[in-house]
Structure 1
């Protein structure tokens, strides 16, 4: 079959055939073609974006030099010969678990971001501490990460079908994509063939991941270091449209903003009262001294199959006072409430509200608040780019049988 170049916004995106590629993907991943969200080829396509694999300063130059060749070695349907049902297994597992516990969707989105933003999409965030390995899970920004058990479930299904074939790194980014679709966000195509890191990067995670308290300058700096511009930073933070945020991450905005012992003046007054009703100052502060050894709560009953398997959707911390990001309830399109709220001074996290503090970033907040289709298209493109950050491909890395440890 001859290749066909598709013109997209004056750029070229090469696929064998628009129709054939669509149904080829659907046949591999979906039981019913009617369920396939591959509108990518029907309505619009995402242009190839420049990929940058930057981390700490001393590795940045080498990573950038390697990125083009590494990303080029990824491909669509990478597992077609070795595990053709791989993406179908991941999709089915995520959907089965989502029906029982919708909270897995934002958990898997955040897990993918935290993995990819630190040394690239290499599943390093999944590793437990061991000899020679200081787990990223133990770095402060990752203490509230969840979804590890979900990846364990997915990986066990993949190992049963195709032992030693599908990487944990691919499982993380593909599971995040399915979660985004389930949360009402866009579908986007992903190449596969990532390999798993043989080490973890706890120190990098501590200093490289964006903080909930970052101001606009720091936000731009953090994302720029990974090759994202201001528009893409605004886009990716739209993932905060869903999920739960613990009060400790914004309690200072309510009671002691910048050490003033008053509230952040940028918060809408009525919204401030609402937040204070959900996050009592004394109750939230108590959580900092809570024991981290408390057993996590089991949210789904045990069984060998994903349809009724244990999902301990918990972090290394105990349950804390929190608020849903979609506090007005379900029904809002993915992204719409988030950006409208920022324009009304109702951003929950300081890092979110800061997006309205700059001329360019505010322009994109306004655009996404009024055009969810534009946001979905940009979000899909940005997630494609994020999912290709600093990936390892053969012969680098390994395929872990257990995502929590190297062999």
Structure 2
């Protein structure tokens, strides 16, 4: 028996060493993996070097959990979803507005519900900055928050409500479902000056759009993916009239517009005040969806939820992008490549859109012990 002990001990030590070595190389993130999106690790979605801010952001993400409220407020996500479904039946036009609201919150200093704060002696509200002048959906978030406060007071953050509501809206718009970790906390400040300076304009050229997304850690593929949300909602004519009548001060239309599409847009947007439209009137990333009673057009004229994103990319291939910034995606080698890919492969677009929205929802989140849980989303606790 004795001669067999040493070989067995040696084998045990070898197995133990291999296990320890393997454990050291396992990722430490708590992000839950789902089969339909597990082909690309979320933290590897962008290429390039990792900055200190990215490391800090990864640390914050690792403190989020899937089904964070399972014990403290087990029906939280169901309450969000049921409210969004009722909204979809009564006011479907607000579905794209809530997706847009989440982008505006997360793109400026992270997903901390800063977009929801009202004016105050210490608050310069993002919602009142010129680029956010057309934002809608604040009352919907307030309704959801009120329902959650009744069910489990002081538990669910407004920041989580915003990203969960956007996720459910994406599904109702015909886009993919994607899992979200929760546990975000609310910030105590708002950043109107950053909104004005850093949200790209609908008049921006490709290099400006790329730089804006890159500053938030998104590569060109992810940028093209997120812009696919422009497929839904409505857009006010004043944000592209210059392309129809006086592009770059030439008194001529934008030559990149398809001639037939130009005539369609002109038939819906007359020339009144076209020459006075200023490129400073709007400095925003997403499609300037507006519910105000002015000249506007529907982004998806076919209203087909089965084509979420598809019509957007196909329109760019035909020179029918409504916004100048959208059509600029055809001017870069990489961006044009992804426009072609998404126009012909709905499954790839849905997978990439899910990944990009997950990444967007994790931007610079606040977790314990940082931040707070607001009892009213428009006011600091």
Answering whether residue 366 of structure 2 is matched by residue 392 of structure 1, we say yes
What secondary structure is seen at the aligned counterpart in 2 of 1:245?
strand
Match of 1:23 in 2: none
**1:3-45: CA deviation from partner (whole Å, max 9, x where unpaired):** xxxxxxxx97988998xxxxxxxxxxxxxxxxxxxxx53x443
Q: Deviations over 1:127-162 (max 9, x none)?
A: 011111011011111111111111111111111101
Aligned to 2:43: 50
Residues 1:283 and 1:360: Cα distance change in structure 2 (over 3 Å)? same
TM, length-normalised to structure 1: 0.79
How many residue pairs were aligned? 342
Q: CA deviation at 1:46?
A: 5.8
Is 1:128 aligned with 2:118? yes
1:375 to 341, 349, 369: 349
Aligned partner of residue 231 in structure 1, secondary structure: helix
SS of the residue aligned with 1:114? helix
Task: Provide closer, same or farther for how the CA distance between residues 268 and 189 of structure 1 changes in structure 2, counting only shifts above 3 A.
Answer: same
Q: Contact (CA 8 Å) 2:241, 2:277: kept in 1 or not?
A: no
Structure 1 residues 285, 194: CA separation in 2 closer, same or farther (over 3 Å shift)? farther
Q: For 1:356-375, list aligned pairs within 5 A.
A: 356-375=330-349
Counterpart of 2:251? 261
> What's the CA shift for 1:189?
0.5
Distance change in 2, residues 1:330/1:68 (3 Å): closer
The one of 317, 321, 327 equivalent to 1:353 is 327
Q: Give structure 1 stretches of 5+ with no counterpart.
A: 1-10, 19-39, 53-59, 289-313
Residues 3-402 of structure 1: pairs in structure 2 closer than 5 A: 40-41=34-35, 43-45=36-38, 47-50=40-43, 63-282=53-272, 318-330=292-304, 332-402=306-376
Kindly provide the CA deviation profile for residues 239-291 of structure 1, in whole angstroms up to 9, marking residues without a partner as x: 00101111111111111111111110000001001111111121668999xxx
Shift in Å, 1:395: 1.3
Shift of 1:64: 3.4
Worse-superposed segment, 229-238 or 322-331 = 322-331
Q: TM-score, normalised on structure 2?
A: 0.84
Q: Structure 2 stretches of 5 or more lacking a match?
A: 1-25, 279-288
Contact kept? 1:51, 1:389, Cα under 8 Å: no
Where 1:364 maps in the other structure, the secondary structure is helix
CA drift at 1:47:
3.7
Distance, in Å, in 1 between the alignment partners of 2:275 and 2:51 is 42
CA distance in 2, matches of 1:115, 1:104: 16
Give the alignment's Cα RMSD to 1 decimal.
Answer: 2.5
Q: Please tell me whether Structure 1 or Structure 2 has the larger radius of gyration of its CA atoms.
A: 2
